[in-house]
Structure 1
Amino acid sequence: METTQEGPPPTAPRPLQGIRIRVVEDDPEWCALVVDELARQGAAVRGLGSVEALYRELAVDACDIVVLDVMLPGEDGFSATRHLRRTGDMGIVLVTGRGAAADMAHGLSVGADVYLPKPLELPVLVAALHSLHRRMAARTAAPPCPAPEPAPPAGDGWSLRAGGWELGSPGGHAVALSSAERALLHALITSPGTPVGRERLIAALTPTPRDFDPHRLEVLLHRLRARVRDATGLALPVRALRGQGYLWVPTHS
């Protein structure tokens, strides 16, 4: 008996409707499967074989989300993620056979929003893309959190200055802060020596805490620690406390 498999009826909801997605994958067969499935789910999607092709594409046509393989000819996915995160605000999903915890941590630290190890079922990819786009839309549509009141100096040479948009170090260096970093540090510096719970920190970062991926808090701090170390040569005096949150550790000369 011959059977046929029909696609979803025209009225069925398509979770990726209208989302502009670029898939960067050097395996033509897998790339075609992914592109076909994302298109079937409503995405405006194109497949590309290299990071260089992606850069040429983005120079003339922006997108909402990039799906990147890690092992690519020429520039790899980790390097591309770092570059894309510096130059744009699109969502970034890394899909790779390198599923070790260290690889995942590295991918998230350089700027990926989602890290999915292969072998990967296409429904999982679709669900991840839908969830990521929903979080991005919530951040864009939600009213901004009230600006924090100016924070007093931490008393140990660290301070928020320039209206809270710079972190001053004991050595006199200044580190420019994003709005999320500014809110995070304000909550910590104004409570030196006192643990600040994750829920309070997340509430300082977003007006919609339920839509905030808690793992992004660790990623935000990881990137901030690295930037502070590069700019000042000092470690950011923030300690993670298991089950409690984070602590600004006052230092004394």
Structure 2
Amino acid sequence: MDTLNKILIVDDDRDIRSLLADYLDNNGYATVTAGEGNAMWAALQEHQIDLVVLDLNLPGDDGLTLCRTLRSKSSLPVIMLTARGEPLDRILGLEMGADDYLPKPFEPRELLARVRSVLRRTQSSHHNQHGEALQKLKFAGWALDMTARHLLSPEGMIVSLSGAEFRMLSIFLDHPNRILNRDQLLNMTHGRDADPFDRSIDIQISRLRQKLREDARSPQIIKTVRNGGYVLAVTVTTEPDA
């Protein structure tokens, strides 16, 4: 399946673009490169892209702006490259909707591992765990459309989700009224690539609560369990797609 995946590499450094493209090409992927935002949008129009590797520091619109705009239109997975690797850069990248991040400098084989991991998680989330037809999962007046991969508000308005947010909400809906601790959530979303010090779980849950219009001080859908983790504290029902 890897040979079917096309990766868009967006970086203003031509040497880095060439290095990463050659490495990914040699490991079973097809690659497209772009040096800035306009070229990125053109590539997305021209090619069927499966994942974007996006540098934070770009001329014109920076990586955070591009990621935020892309996320408002699509759930296409994004791996953000940050020059300094500072916690603030990583947190901002995740808040803008990136699925993963990698601080520079890095070994190409580390990026390859991240690409494989993100694609594996993204592709597996397209399929229902029980092999059933894709469906809508309803909870507390909301609905998660498993086909379109977006959230529907009680008023029927579409709320876009990043790939990471979609996976996180899917996990909660698959385990209603069950306490899930951070380690379990990390393993379910990142598998063996999970970093025990990764704070992305808390960031994603915070962003999900915002999109679900939760009161941060007293959430009613995704509740925090002291010294336990998190729990989806509502009933979930299914509705097969027509």
Output the TM-score relative to the length of structure 2.
0.68
Q: Secondary structure at the match of 2:4?
A: coil
Q: 2:30 — aligned with what?
A: 44
Matched, 1:89 2:75: yes
Percentage identity across paired residues of the two chains: 27
CA deviations 1:148-171 (Å, max 9, x no partner) are 9865xxxxxxx4367997666xxx
The C-alpha deviation readout for 1:170-220, integer Å capped at 9, x for no partner, is: xxx8876677648747967xx5xxx82238x96xxx8x9968969765343
Match of 2:103 in 1: 117
Determine the structure 1 residue equivalent to 2:181.
198
If asked which structure has higher relative contact order (CA below 8 Å, sep 6+), I would say: 2
Counterpart pick for 1:226 among 210, 218, 222: 210
Pairwise CA distance, 1:108? 1.2
Residue 110 of structure 1, CA deviation: 1.5
- Whether 1:65 and 2:51 are equivalent positions in the alignment is yes
Q: For residues 139 and 17 of structure 1, what CA distance do their matches in structure 2 show?
A: 19
Q: How far did 1:140 drift?
A: 2.2
Please give the secondary structure, in 2, of the residue aligned with 1:82.
helix
Aligned amino acid, residue 78 of structure 2: I
1:79, distance to aligned residue in structure 2 (A): 1.3
Bigger mean CA deviation after superposition, 211-220 or 114-123: 211-220
Give the equivalent residue in structure 2 for 1:11.
none
Distance 2:55 2:103 in 1: 10
CA contact (8 A) 2:136 2:144 kept: no
For structure 1, list consecutive stretches of 5 or more residues without a partner in the other structure.
Answer: 1-14, 152-158
- Which residue number corresponds to residue 122 of structure 2? 136
Q: Larger strand proportion, structure 1 or 2? A: 2
2:15 maps to what in 1? Answer: 29
Q: Which of the pair has more CA radius of gyration?
A: 1
Other structure's SS at 1:99 match? coil
Alignment of 1:160 onto 2:141: yes
Alignment partner, residue 126 of structure 1: 112
Quote the Cα distance in structure 2 between the aligned partners of 1:126 and 1:161.
36
Q: Which amino acid aligns with 1:198?
A: N
* C-alpha distance in 1 between matches for 2:190 and 2:65: 30
Q: CA deviation at 1:23?
A: 0.5
Distance 1:45 1:163, change over 3 A: closer
The alignment partner of 1:66 has SS state of strand
Shift in CA distance, 149/224, structure 1 to aligned 2, threshold 3 Å:
closer
Q: Distance in 2 between matches of 1:187 and 1:85?
A: 26
Residue 140 of structure 1 aligns to a residue whose secondary structure is coil
Distance (Å, rounded) in 2 between the aligned partners of 1:140 and 1:98: 33
Q: Structure 1 residues 241 and 105, CA, compared in 2 at 3 Å: closer, same or farther?
A: farther
AA partner of residue 79 (structure 1): T
Cα distance in 1 for partners of 2:34, 2:66 equals 14
Structure 2: where are the runs of 5+ without partners?
146-150, 234-242
- Tell whether the 8 Å contact from 2:179 to 2:225 is kept in structure 1 after alignment: no
CA distance in 2, matches of 1:163, 1:124: 33
Of the three residues 206, 230, 234, the one matched with 1:246 is: 230
What is the aligned length?
Answer: 212
Amino acid at match of 2:113: A
**Structure 1-normalised TM-score?**
0.66
**1:56 maps to 2:39:** no
One-letter amino acid matched to 2:229? G
- Which structure 2 residues correspond to residues 156-195 of structure 1 after superposition, within 5 A? 159-160=140-141, 181=169, 184=172
CA shift in 2, pair 1:243/1:16, >3 Å: farther
